[in-house]
Amino acid sequence: MSNARATHLSRRGVLAAGGALGLGAVLAACGDDDSASSGSADGTKAAASSGPWTFKDDRGTTVKLDRTPANIVAFIGVAAALFDYGIEVKGVFGPTKTSDGKADVQAGDLDISKLTILGNEWGQFNIEKYATLTPDVLISTLFDDAGTLWYVPEESKDKILKLAPSVGISVYDRQMPVSLEHLYTLAESLGADVKAAKVVEAKKKFETAAERLRAAAKAHPDIKVLAGSASQDIFYVSGSNLSIDLEYFKALGVNIVEPSAKVLEASGGWFENLSWENVDKYPADIIIMDDRTSTIQPADITEATWKKLPAVKAGQVIARTPEPILSYDKCTPILDNLAEAIENATKVA
């Protein structure tokens, strides 16, 4: 994944970026919040239990509470995924709304007007407001193997973590279905009805989409797919070994363009920095571009070298979601869109 901000990147900063470019700061651990777990999402109703609650997260940490968390605070992408399972949160942090006040792409189907936003940008987290929510638990993703909770400021993490226990769901160095399954399990523990028709159907559609992508990749093994992200001065090419989407695409047979391991070392394995003059370094038939609002979108790229790329000239550029909302409903279109692109691609590289 990538964020069009950092020119100097710590290993942690890269993790958070998800594999294309860094957010330019160090990741940090998260705290907690609370939320009404009785939310519904098209027929999926969460009914929180009054008994003890236990959940083991991807840091190996087991959180134990006397009752199922009701007041939940979560990273925006996690909140969006929980909402798809009928679980609502009270507070969120991370990219929630755009500069014009609309919902960010990472907010999914959430009505952000009903949420307490603790921080909308990197480094922002209102601890005082967080405390007023009397959080039961704070949930975020993990972009490293050190247990660093995503989008919680390093400088204030100790204060935040004192207010409530935290749960981390890893999206680092594994395939998408692994993270999806753990978020699904978390949602179930919080009261989601995972046997509801909508949830069951969503999972089936994801599996069907995966088979479609596998078939498309097998039928078109020569189609090269490059994962890119754009900033003002740098074009980032992601390697596939750490990002949950790219690792899964590769496992399904997609021909991912790979920078060399030696080149990737500078970013901790995530991506290669290219100047716009060298944006044509890697031949590609399809370019999948970071869709996060922190990056420059394809329609806004004015660099002549970009416009001359064969994939761009052929109209074979589609969106990539480096930080997928971890519900089957939201991840299915990711697979379908890439499958369709490969099915219809012309060999141009």
- For the segment 229-263, what is each residue's pLDDT rounded down to a tens digit? 999 999 999 999 999 999 999 999 999 999 999 99
Residue 286: predicted pLDDT: 98
Cα–Cα distances (Å) from 126 to 33, 58, 109, 115, 159, in that order, read: 12, 25, 24, 14, 11
> Tokens 């998260």 sit at which residue?
30
Q: What is the pLDDT of residues 65-117, one digit of tens each?
A: 999 999 999 999 999 999 999 999 999 999 999 999 999 999 999 999 999 99
Q: What are phi and psi of 20, to 5 degrees?
A: -120, -45
Residue 217: predicted pLDDT: 98
- Spatial CA neighbour of 171 closest among 59, 263, 55, 33: 59
Residue 50: predicted pLDDT: 62
153 band by pLDDT with thresholds 50, 70 and 90:
very high
Q: Say if CB 190 and CB 232 are below 8 A apart.
A: no
What is the pTM (predicted TM-score) of this model?
A: 0.87
Residue 51: predicted pLDDT: 77
Segment 54-62 shows an average pLDDT of: 98
Task: Report the amino acid identity of residue 40.
Answer: S
